[in-house]
Structure 1
């Protein structure tokens, strides 16, 4: 798309076009890259200084509902409503890393606060308040961050949709996690039940999980290192949380029974833990962590063990969890050795593709499309051949008919076609996904695939003869088809087709289509007629219709030649099948011979009778048919019957 066209593009409520521009000439594409264009030096000189910071952080949402107003005053009044942050903006990326540090701190400190503190000391309380303020700011920021829609794979900049999505997902947990539970605990008279609400903050651990998922997909970072680091963090966090629980169980006993706990009864040499509350915090934590580690490893030295029933019950559940955790760790390590994980295969394939693209010096646009398509394969896992490869062909056909037949029936191109033809199309079709802004078909290209839209949105784009300006011809929605003119008529593709939203399309190759037409001639004629009727009466389509009409004539001539050949050979059943498939018994070949004339010249009584019953006109061949029939007196009966 040219620069002038990009400046005219606006974003719709569902996510907008692929380029978004604020009032001062900044453009952001969907990959977070920006170009700054200044069209007027006077405008630049009158621009307030704070606009630069606004451009660095955000860009405005040019929603259709806003652009229709067209007034600067209304735009200024709704400044905060239109303020949207691009998720790849480097300021926002820096902010997410800052919040990630706080999320790691909060995830590890929450179990520690629950187990070891009955009210935080002043220094830790102030640190805790600072962390909660950071998360409160993050809650506000999230109401301004655009998101990528799962179905359309387009960035959504509509403030209402962004807010609704966040409110329906993590907003409540994030807000509850920011409450000062330590202050609430003290204000409630140190009610023990309030302290359990601290665990709401563990929802922040999801940010750490998301961070590791991104690292695993980043081919710049060693995959083995990333996986081992993730497994180590999982194991460390499990033992850390268990250690805090072990100590918490000991502190919930009455002071008179503290000796009847695992730590109160502990003796190491001459050192006794009988008054463990007075021991240094670091020593208590290390002792608890040691107990958790040796229990998880099921070493069982015996110097630390459960004393009361509550501790025994907790250890039973903890050891059961450890067995599951151990299986998870071993399974992941085995997958690392054999390279069997889906993510690792994706990384290896992506690495090879990048090497290939660098070697052949492919331009950035093509490289980007290749990488995006590979990521889509990884995210969607839509390789049907892999999923259905072990299923018998008959069952695969039933699955295809169940999945695709409802879409094929609604396509205008196939309107009026027989059910058998529709079922055959459904069994031969293939499913594909395309990301915006991929171009599926280029203008002028020879097309050997017919495409049907299942989900998503595409656009037809036409160029003038000078190839300078690009014009939007039509929007393609569900049940639309494209590529049919070039596919059926062997002509250059009259327009390009580009993806606007993540699209799921069905693809049929020309060879399969011709094989199906061999059995369904009548449906082929219906399709061609539908193609002519569906075109607008403009100059371009009139030219196309002339090509289509030629193709129809060629198709009918081939069909009548097949009928004549069958009649000449006396193949009654083939003639019957061809006529039943839609062949016209009154059509003549290039030499003016009809099937009835050919059958009469050879004296095939059964074929003559069948053709007359099907409405074959005995007068269509005039004297030639009569002279041929006189040679066979027994044929005259059928001719008289036809008159």
Structure 2
């Protein structure tokens, strides 16, 4: 992609002119519901049809596909060139009808017809020169090509040779060559000019202002008349190939109608000979069973067989077209009806010139390119339609840089959900600042990204989009307005994917969603654009990770091992914590899910991590009484750590929660931990008279000699409470702890004496 750096200005003082042009356009194209109209409107319609609305778009400088200025280029919509085409059309009609007549009835033109023929050939020679300067619209890109070399090459490869040969004075060449008969056959080259007449009728058929039935009937009449006219000239020519002495062996020389004989037919008036030939040609074509031409020699027999066979085909063609007119099955007629309805809608709602042109351009593009939507596949099962889409579009989706590294499953899902759309040059796909609801992928064509300046009066083109590019991905993925306007440069074929389908697919393929965001961040070639969008993309990546962590925690909370495995396989990090600092292991341990706990331990999740409330997975399992889960955690190396363990144990004892006290003591918690008053759990048990808890604490190693901040020991608290059994228990524990302390002290004293003796 190339950074163009072009700027364009938008004129602000043309509002009135635009309004006037809109009014003129709608005035010309407005459909007449009534058959009555004034001579002025009829003249205006005729003038518009002949291209005489004096809109100068023509000779001078123009821009070709490469942006170079070209001189003396004639645009097809130039008013005087359209007049010239109508002038040449008249000569084409004359030449198409006169050529068979010249071949059949003249062996050397008389002077007056010879001069007329020369004048016509000069006109066609001028047209050949003009065609080297007429711009054309490229069928692939739909852009106007104004390069002299391309125009000349296209014409030389198409019709130049035939047009040039048709302009040669074959009558003069025939006379100069000694009237050799094979030279006259070259006259038939001029029949290629009939293509201009065909193009004229095709244009008339697509013009919704002219009655379609009338146009088709006129066209069919012209076809029939031209075929019989040509056949009549050939019939007469076959009769003239025999010498005058054998003219009785010809169909016209042996013809006798009533008392009138056609012997010595060469001396009969030209008009009468032509009418006679035309009469028999028409009757033979109609094959009504009376008056058909009768072959006399072999050549006439052969031609009549060919002609009658051709007549059967022509008759089928004429009847088929008339049937299509009655049932309105013609594709052109459907196009006309659709265009007529659209123009009525545009006139009624005053949509404006630009929008109207875009609508008409799209409809005409669909007609001319034989483009049909996927409606033809509606009756096919969904599974087969998905295979068709996969076959057609998957190769394009794989090449999109946005999807680099994505899984084949994700690519296939996208390929089955896209559909094709075509856009003409100059159309805006997405406008800056809009909310995008479609994601586009470029199959063919070129586009440009432009950005409005601060004054909103100029635009800067800073990037070219070509094949395999994506459009609208920033707005959809980052939930931001479209940062730039995307405009079509060449005729484009795009694959479209609606936003909802794309986001639904991303919810399933989580890992691919992260890859897409990374590709989006790395794939921007413009440094300025990268700086502007990097924060948005980074923020959205953070949101995506947070959402993914919540999904993992949700699966852990609900015990959905299958979903948890899928999320982890899709790239989710099981060590990520939620807003409370809880990991999936916290939730699995608190719920007692042994299989999830084992899976998370195998995935390397931190087993001693604390949440925002100081709870570890092991503590969560102990609190909720899940001994098996606690055992799994301990075997994996988990250690029980409690913030402010003294207060926790004191509260546990005060609540008389013996089971929790047993579990925490069994997992290594210090029974002598103190609270803010320097009181141990044994102080609380002694003051409350809780014998069983005091016994459990003593077995775990609780000290009877510890003092709180008031100097009281647990035994003092028991004496105050008056529980004799508890006092007895604590006194026995006191004696045991003192003797143990004494023994350890004596041992230490003895060791010191031995050391002194040795020294």
Q: State the TM bucket, normalised to the shorter chain.
A: 0.7 to 0.9
Q: Render the CA deviation track for 1:133-190: whole Å, top value 9, x for unaligned.
A: 1111100000000000111111011000000000000000001111111111112222
- Pairing 1:59–2:95 present: no
Write the mapping of 1:133-532 to structure 2, written as runs, cut at 5 A. 133-302=122-291, 304-532=293-521
Q: Secondary structure at the match of 1:608?
A: helix
Assess, with a 3 A threshold, how the Cα gap between structure 1 residues 65 and 426 changes in structure 2: closer, same or farther.
closer
The equivalent residue for 2:77 is: 88
Q: Secondary structure at the match of 1:494?
A: coil
* Deviation (angstroms), 1:263: 0.5
Runs of 4+, deviation exceeding 4 Å: 62-68, 536-541
Pick the aligned partner of 2:617 from 599, 616, 625. 625
Q: Render the CA deviation track for 1:418-465: whole Å, top value 9, x for unaligned.
A: 111111111101110001111111111000111111111111111123
Q: Which has the larger displacement, 394-403 or 335-344?
A: 394-403
- Pairing 1:5–2:8 present: yes
Q: Give the TM-score, by structure 2 length.
A: 0.74
Assess, with a 3 A threshold, how the Cα gap between structure 1 residues 6 and 313 changes in structure 2: closer, same or farther.
farther
2:103–2:233: 8 Å Cα contact kept in structure 1?
A: yes
Q: Which has the larger displacement, 532-541 or 157-166?
A: 532-541
Assess, with a 3 A threshold, how the Cα gap between structure 1 residues 270 and 303 changes in structure 2: closer, same or farther.
farther
> What RMSD in Å do the two structures reach over aligned CA positions?
2.4
Q: Secondary structure at the match of 2:289?
A: coil
How many angstroms apart in 1 are the aligned matches of 2:77 and 2:358?
18
Write the mapping of 1:549-628 to structure 2, written as runs, cut at 5 A. 549-621=538-610, 623-628=615-620
* Deviation (angstroms), 1:486: 0.8
The equivalent residue for 1:634 is: 628
How many angstroms apart in 2 are the aligned matches of 1:504 and 1:157?
23
1:617–1:642: 8 Å Cα contact kept in structure 2?
A: no
How many angstroms apart in 2 are the aligned matches of 1:227 and 1:437?
34
How many angstroms apart in 2 are the aligned matches of 1:539 and 1:261?
88
How many angstroms apart in 2 are the aligned matches of 1:347 and 1:118?
47
Assess, with a 3 A threshold, how the Cα gap between structure 1 residues 99 and 539 changes in structure 2: closer, same or farther.
closer
* Deviation (angstroms), 1:381: 3.0
1:56–1:91: 8 Å Cα contact kept in structure 2?
A: no
Q: Render the CA deviation track for 1:13-66: whole Å, top value 9, x for unaligned.
A: xxxxxxxxxxxxxxxx9xxx9xxxxxxxxxxxxxxxxxxx9x885112455989
* Deviation (angstroms), 1:319: 1.3
Highest Rg: 1 or 2?
A: 2
Q: Secondary structure at the match of 2:487?
A: strand
How many angstroms apart in 1 are the aligned matches of 2:326 and 2:167?
42
How many angstroms apart in 1 are the aligned matches of 2:526 and 2:322?
65
Assess, with a 3 A threshold, how the Cα gap between structure 1 residues 568 and 173 changes in structure 2: closer, same or farther.
same
How many angstroms apart in 2 are the aligned matches of 1:498 and 1:453?
12
Assess, with a 3 A threshold, how the Cα gap between structure 1 residues 98 and 602 changes in structure 2: closer, same or farther.
same
How many angstroms apart in 1 are the aligned matches of 2:521 and 2:57?
52
Q: Render the CA deviation track for 1:106-151: whole Å, top value 9, x for unaligned.
A: 1111111111111111111111111111111100000000000111
Q: Render the CA deviation track for 1:274-318: whole Å, top value 9, x for unaligned.
A: 111111111000000001101100013147422222222211221
1:566–1:575: 8 Å Cα contact kept in structure 2?
A: yes
The equivalent residue for 1:118 is: 107
Q: Which has the larger displacement, 363-372 or 143-152?
A: 363-372
Assess, with a 3 A threshold, how the Cα gap between structure 1 residues 351 and 303 changes in structure 2: closer, same or farther.
closer
Q: Which has the larger displacement, 155-164 or 624-633?
A: 624-633
Q: Give the TM-score, by structure 1 length.
A: 0.87
Count, aligned residues? 585
Structure 2: 5+ residue stretches without partners? 1-6, 12-20, 26-53, 639-759
How many angstroms apart in 1 are the aligned matches of 2:528 and 2:10?
30
2:229–2:278: 8 Å Cα contact kept in structure 1?
A: yes
